[in-house]
Amino acid sequence: MTRRPGGGARTASAVPYLFLAPAMTLFTLFMAIPIAYTAYLSLRRTKVSGLGLGKNSRREVFAGLDNYAATLSDGELWAGWLRVLGYGLLVLTVMLGLALLFALLLDSAHVRLARFSRIALFLPYAVPGVAATLLWGFLYLPSLSPFRQVLDVDLLGSDAVVFSMANVAVWGGVGFNMLVLYTALRAVPRTYYEAARIDGASEIQIALRIKIPILLPAIILTTVFSIIATIQVFTEPTTLRPLTNTISSTWSPLMKVYRDAFVTGDLYSAAATSIVIAAISLILSFGFLRVVRDRAFGEG
């Protein structure tokens, strides 16, 4: 039996696409199509004729960019972004700072109980967000909180509720980010540190001059993921909201999307707001990557 010239090459070139097919199918079904449908809904609106009581009195019509114009001029949405900005600065600074500190401590030459410490730090990340928020929420309640007597402050009051929500996010996120940074550190050859110790460097100098510069790509990665997660904050304020009257139904942008879509029933406005949130998330994430790349790696 004779083979066609180039038949084996064509078969070999098709193999990668066969492996990619399941992932691409899932991506198309559960990501691309929903995003496209959301974009379609964002360009529609409901037109009411008469009193809106007849069978055909409500119909879907093309709205152009009207939903986007209404979204971009919505004061509630931008107030939510300001709240999330303050919340995000607090969470990112504390969470990533602690994650880096714990990763460096666990990678130290003199650390004890390293395996137990890693598990103990990572365990909060394994707790579902709703369960973790409820757990902390009951600890925040003035009638139950052990912190009320010590701190003499209402942790669900208007002055402290942002810090209370940030505490939940930090408690759950430090372990994951620590594990990413620690794994990156364990991939560094030990000879680097041994050479530095022979030259008389202390553990602090090794951490500042060797470990942190090597960790820079991993730090950037965890920061980008944390920025995206912070922009999408929803679980903490939504779960704590029944426990206090200081959290509005539009406290965060995603909470406003939920209210518009499932409380007021305005799916078209919610779709436009979702697209705007996604666009802002991309701008912030890629903007951060660009700034860091230019400054840290000297690329134009």
**Would you list the domain boundaries of the chain?**
67-297
What count of other Cβ atoms lies within 10 Å of the Cβ of residue 64?
Answer: 10
Higher pLDDT, 6 or 300: 6
**Confidence grade of residue 1 (pLDDT, cut at 50, 70, 90):** very low
| Per-residue pLDDT, 275 | 95
Beta bridge mates, 62: 44
Higher pLDDT, 285 or 238: 238
Higher pLDDT, 294 or 169: 169
Model pLDDT for residues 126-185, shown as the tens digit of each residue: 999 999 999 999 999 988 888 877 888 889 998 899 999 999 999 999 999 999 999 999
Question: Domain 67-297 is in which class?
Answer: mainly alpha
Residue 229 has pLDDT above 60, yes or no: yes
Model pLDDT for residues 13-24, shown as the tens digit of each residue: 778 888 889 999
- Helices (H) and strands (E) counted in the chain, each on its own, are 14, 2
Model pLDDT for residues 76-127, shown as the tens digit of each residue: 999 999 999 999 999 999 999 999 999 999 988 677 788 888 899 999 999 9
| Per-residue pLDDT, 239 | 95
Model pLDDT for residues 194-223, shown as the tens digit of each residue: 888 888 888 889 888 999 999 998 999 899
Residue 51 has pLDDT above 70, yes or no: no
CA 85 to chain centre: 13
What count of other Cβ atoms lies within 10 Å of the Cβ of residue 83?
Answer: 20
Which tokens in the block code for residue 293?
Answer: 């790349």
Q: Are 206 and 196 in contact (CB under 8 A)?
A: yes
DSSP state of 269: H
Cα torsion through 219, 220, 221, 224, rounded to 10: 120
CA pseudo-torsion sign 181, 186, 187, 191: positive
> What's the CA gap between 129 and 243, in Å, rounded?
16
